[in-house]
Structure 1
Amino acid sequence: MNIEKWKSQILRGTLEYCVLLLLRQTPRYGYEILQELNAYPFIAPSILCSEDLKGGSP
């Protein structure tokens, strides 16, 4: 397995646990979760870009 695939798999699992951790702290809607995770772009840089959260077009 090459390093890039390995990193990708680790990040996928990390994102799921981060979402669960946020939901454990307090109930949240999807947009609130994205805003909170946006502070940590290394977790999912392709999903959580700031333009998407500002209402930019895909």
Structure 2
Amino acid sequence: MPKRREALTNISSSLQQVVPALQALTQPGDEHLPFAMRHLLDAIDRVDVEATDDLDRGAAS
């Protein structure tokens, strides 16, 4: 499980690096980019939860 947890952590880190770029591209009239940003942040949260869940499962074993 450590390899999977590390992979999930790396994915989360990579996704978090995209957030400032999307924020920089957002303009006042944009309708779809803020919606996409919410989906991206939700995806990051899900990856983080999955990585933490692996830690919880490992501690219980």
Question: Normalised by the size of structure 1, how large is the TM-score?
Answer: 0.43
Higher Cα Rg, which structure: 2
Question: Normalised by the size of structure 2, how large is the TM-score?
Answer: 0.42
More contact order relative to length (CA 8 Å, sep ≥ 6) = 2
- Could you say which structure has the higher helix fraction? 2
